[in-house]
Amino acid sequence: MVRRIRVTRPVNSGFWDPWSVEEVKKTTPMPKLEAKRVCVICLSEISEGAAMIECPYCGALGHENCFEEWITMKGKCPLCRRTITL
Ligand SMILES: [Zn+2]
Ligand SMILES: [Zn+2]
């Protein structure tokens, strides 16, 4: 009796390209960008724990006093230009 050994092959073996798999392994994940908060108005960094205001539409961040001053003058977000009221 001949014992049949079933060779298991991946179903999509024809499409499997070992080099492309290797390529996938080589690509390193993007380094997580340091979430640096920059004020959209004065363009300087917002230090941790500083008072800030966020645009409810686009999420633009600004120092509380910068944003307040801007909105008082222009009445809109400096980034998306949608009307914001404080
Ligand atoms: Zn600012
Ligand atoms: Zn906005």
Domain ranges in the chain are 35-86
Residue 85, pLDDT above cutoff 90? no
CA distances from residue 80 to 16, 24, 59, 61, 83 in whole angstroms, order as listed: 46, 37, 9, 12, 9
Cα 8 to ligand 1 centre (Å): 63
Question: Which is more confident, 39 or 17?
Answer: 39
Q: What is the CATH number of domain 35-86?
A: 3.30.40.10
pLDDT at 26 over 80: no
Strand partners, 28: none
In the reported structure, the alpha carbon of residue 44 is separated from the centroid of ligand 2 by a whole-number distance in angstroms of: 17
pLDDT at 11 > cutoff 70: no
Higher pLDDT: 26 or 74? It is: 74
Full-model pTM:
0.58
- For the CA of 62, the nearest ligand: 1
Q: What is the pLDDT of residues 32-76, one digit of tens each?
A: 555 678 999 999 999 988 999 999 999 999 999 999 999 999 999
